[in-house]
Amino acid sequence: MSLPKDFMWGFATAAYQIEGASEADGRGPSIWDTFCAIPGKIADGSSGAVACDSYNRTKEDIDLLKSLGATAYRFSISWSRIIPLGGRNDPVNQKGVDHYVKFVDDLLEAGIQPFITLFHWDLPDALDKRYGGFLNREEFPLDFENYARVVFKAIPKCQHWITFNEPWCSSILGYNTGYFAPGHTSDRSKSTVGDSAREPWIVGHNIILAHARAVKAYRDDFKPTQGGEIGITLNGDATYPWDPEDSADVEACDRKIEFAIGWFADPIYFGHYPESMRKQLGDRLPTFTPEEVELVKGSNDFYGMNHYTANYIKHKTGVPPEDDFLGNLETLFYSKKGECIGPETQSFWLRPMAQGFRDLLNWLSKRYGHPKIYVTENGTSLKGENGMKLEQIVEDDFRVKYFNDYVNAMATASAEDGVNVKGYLAWSLMDNFEWAEGYETRFGVTYVDYADDQKRYPKKSAKSLKPLFDSLIKKE
């Protein structure tokens, strides 16, 4: 038994990926509705308009969670369901509020703790059109704080709040590569707008400020009576030197994590950006005013960790191009000796390597002073899963092994290394809209038959987690 007795486990999802009902009950469009309508942006030309139809199937989803033994469920709220136009002077949509209030009540009645993510990439489109959305340092943090306050007030029973999910993705994929909404990039063959060398760093800065404002609002005006906790969820991969004998490769491993995780976590824990980022980016990286430092530093009750994969890291020499966001390095799946980091999956970026999970947990714990950590996403796709027959899909032994290896690596980090990890939320409860990959990639522990009324079929991996956690969580 190597996980604490109060350890919580369950599954995670996001609003735009599962809810559907994109125009129901007064919901306004998000930047993803707009992005999906642009030909060529989504692999299969699809969108989240219907997805898993979870907006209309909350009872079904809760019954599924109960049947799998989950004690926690992480989901996100659609900002444009709550405030369709997004802004602090725009009307609140009570039907949207009521939907989530009832959902939380029903989860708690089922014995499942809600982990609510306020923002999982689906910015109200009206704010993007009104003032440039994330790019506006004055307006965006205030509008996000207002939205957060509306939700905090409406759902006092929730004890676990996450402000932003993976701001790296919103910043880099949304404003550097153009791979995600709103699709800004300097590559004019992909977008008529964007500055890949500057916009991502502005967006990241404004998200940090918005996060900190929401945390302050919660701590000042809601936590004293509600008693919950609030943090941010950051994504990052484990890193290993391509050539362990080359000190530049060893050094580049830390730099890669700093450019992914430290970008957001260092300001929150230390009040400033990593030195490696300041050195490379110069005045393209915004600076915090003294008032902002005071607001941002310490604005985390826990660290939300999204983790999937690992890479070998090879340093680059010379001056990096202005649009470089990795830290002047390459990420590889093979080492200098030809060792492979892990087997292929359906996702070009994901190779399982469970030891990397333990190592990154330790890296985070040491750097940030042993914070409480919730693993808010961890999971895998399977190569070719979407082309399989149902009877093959539900026998997802590859995913069962992934969860077994990764959860055991986490348990070892807890028991042997002293990492303060308190929860684990597998990605994902069910197959869903996988952003730019549409419905071609599946991460769910439950198969969703999109062609047959979104019917759900739990896979072997869905049923594997309860016995796994039962064997690891201390009873007393």
Tens digits of residue pLDDT in 136-148: 999 999 999 999 9
Mean pLDDT confidence for 392-410 = 98
Pairing of strands 310-315, 329-332: antiparallel
CB atoms within 10 A of CB 86: 26
Q: Where are the domains of the chain?
A: 8-472
pLDDT attached to residue 251: 98
Instruction: Provide CATH code, domain 8-472.
Output: 3.20.20.80
CA angle, corner 424, sides to 432 and 166, nearest 5? 60
Picking from 180, 214, 211, the residue whose alpha carbon sits closest to that of residue 194 is: 180
Q: Is the peptide bond before 182 cis (omega within 30 degrees of 0)?
A: yes
Backbone CA torsion sign across 419, 422, 428, 433: negative
3-class SS of residue 241: strand
pLDDT band at 422 (very low <50, low <70, confident <90, very high): very high
Phi, psi for residue 313 in degrees, rounded to 5:
-120, 125
Q: What's the pTM?
A: 0.98
Give the separation between CA 139 and CA 147, rounded to whole angstroms. Answer: 12
pLDDT attached to residue 476: 83
Mean pLDDT confidence for 87-95 = 98
Mean pLDDT confidence for 408-424 = 98
The residues carrying an active-site annotation are 166, 377
Q: Percent of the chain at pLDDT above 90?
A: 100
**Can you list the alpha helix ranges (DSSP code H) found in 222-300?**
223-226, 247-257, 263-270, 275-281, 290-296
Check if the beta carbon of residue 222 is closer than 8 Å to that of residue 295.
Answer: no
Cα 399 to chain centroid distance, Å, stands at 19
Q: List the beta strands (DSSP E) in 43-181.
A: 72-76, 113-119, 160-165
pLDDT band at 1 (very low <50, low <70, confident <90, very high): confident
Check if the beta carbon of residue 9 is closer than 8 Å to that of residue 376.
Answer: no
C-alpha distances out from residue 330 to 9, 168, 278, 317, 394, Å: 34, 18, 19, 11, 36
Q: Percent of the chain at pLDDT above 70?
A: 100
Check if the beta carbon of residue 351 is closer than 8 Å to that of residue 342.
Answer: yes
pLDDT digits 0-9 by tens, 429-454? 999 999 999 999 999 999 999 999 99
